[in-house]
Structure 1
Amino acid sequence: MRVLHIITGLAAGGAEQQLLLTIRHLPPGIDCEVATLSNPGSVAAALRAEGVRVHHLAMRGNRDLGVLPRLIRLIRHGRYDAVHTHLYRAGLYGRLAARLAGVRVVLATEHSLHAGTIEGRPVSAGVKSLYLAAERLGSTTVAVSRQVAGTLADWGVPGQRVAVLPNGIEAGRLRHDEPERSALRARLRRELGLPEQAFVVGAVGRLVPGKRFEVLAEALTRLPDQVRLLVVGEGPERDRLTRAAGPRAVLTGERADVPELLTAMDVLAAPSVEETFGLAVLEGLAAGLPVLHSGCPALEELPADAAPGARKLASTADAYREALLDLATARPVGPLPRPPAVAHYDIVHTAARLGELYQRLGRRGAPALAEREI
Structure 2
Amino acid sequence: MIEAQPSEKLPGVLFLTDKCDRPESELFIGLKEKGFPVGVMANPDGANFERLSSAGLIVGQIALRNRFDKEGTAAIRKALETGEYDVVNAFNPRALACALRASKGMPVKIVAYRGIIGNVSYLNPESWITFLHPRVDRIVCVADAIRDYLAGLHFLWLRLSPTKLVRVYKGHDLSWYQDAPADLQEFGIPEGAFTVCCTGRDVPRKGFDVLVEALARLSSDVDVHLLLVGDLDRNDTLRQQVQGLPHPERVHFTGFRKDAPALAAASDVFVLPSKEREGLPRAVIEAMAYGVAPVVTDVGGMPELVEHGVSGLVVPPNDAQALSDALVELYRDRERLEQIGGRARQRIEADFHTSQTVKQMGDIYCELVGQN
Contact 1:171 1:283 in 2 (8 A): no
- In 2, Cα distance between equivalents of 1:153 and 1:262: 35
Over aligned residues, Cα RMSD in angstroms?
Answer: 3.6
**3-state DSSP of counterpart to 2:39:** strand
Q: TM-score, normalised by structure 2?
A: 0.75
Map 1:29-48 onto structure 2 (within 5 A): 29-36=35-42, 40-44=45-49, 47-48=52-53
Q: Does 1:351 align with 2:346?
A: no
- Is 2:122–2:128's contact at 8 Å kept on the other side of the alignment? no
Distance 1:300 1:129 in 2: 30
Identity of aligned residues (%): 23
Give yes or no for contact 2:293–2:338 (8 Å, CA) kept in 1. no
Deviations 1:125-148 (A, max 9, x none): 2233333553x2232221222222
Deviation at 1:71, TM superposition (A): 2.2
Question: Which residue in the other structure is 2:342 paired with?
Answer: 337
Aligned to 2:13: 3
Q: Report how many residues are paired.
A: 341
SS in 2 for 1:338: helix
Give the letter for the 2:324 counterpart. R
Q: Which residue of 2 aligns with 1:270?
A: 272
- The answer to which of 71-80 and 352-361 deviates more is 71-80
Shift of 1:284: 3.1
Task: Decide which structure has the larger Cα Rg and report it.
Answer: 2
Change (3 A) 1:195 1:39: farther
Q: What is the distance in 2 between the residues matched to 1:253 and 1:281?
A: 17
Superposition deviation, residue 123 in structure 1:
8.4
Tell me the distance in 1 between the aligned counterparts of 2:230 and 2:98.
28
Question: Which residue number in structure 2 is paired with residue 284 of structure 1?
Answer: 287
Residue 99 of structure 2: aligned partner = 94
Amino acid at match of 1:22: L
Q: 1:60 to 1:318 in 2, by over 3 A?
A: same
Unpaired runs of 5+ residues, structure 1, are: 369-374
Displacement of 1:62? 4.1
Could you tell me which residue of structure 2 aligns to residue 227 of structure 1?
A: 224
Residue 5 of structure 2 corresponds to none
TM-score by length of 1: 0.75
What amino acid maps onto 2:73 in structure 1? Answer: L
Q: Of 200, 203, 212, which aligns to 2:198?
A: 203
Counterpart of 2:224, as a letter, is: V
| Distance in 2 (alpha carbons) for counterparts of 1:24 and 1:193 | 41
- In structure 2, do the counterparts of structure 1 residues 220 and 62 end up closer, same or farther at CA, with 3 Å as the change threshold? farther
1:311 aligns with 2:310: no
> Does the 8 Å contact 2:296/2:302 carry over to 1?
no
Q: Mean alpha-carbon deviation: is it higher for 61-70 or for 144-153? A: 61-70
Match of 2:145 in 1: 147
Q: Conserved in 2, the CA contact under 8 Å of 1:211 and 1:270? A: yes
C-alpha spacing 1:66/1:172, structure 2 compared with 1 (3 Å) = closer
Query: Residues 89-117 of structure 1: CA distance to partner in whole angstroms, max 9, x if unpaired?
Result: 222112332344x2523211122233xx3
CA distance in 2, matches of 1:238, 1:80: 46
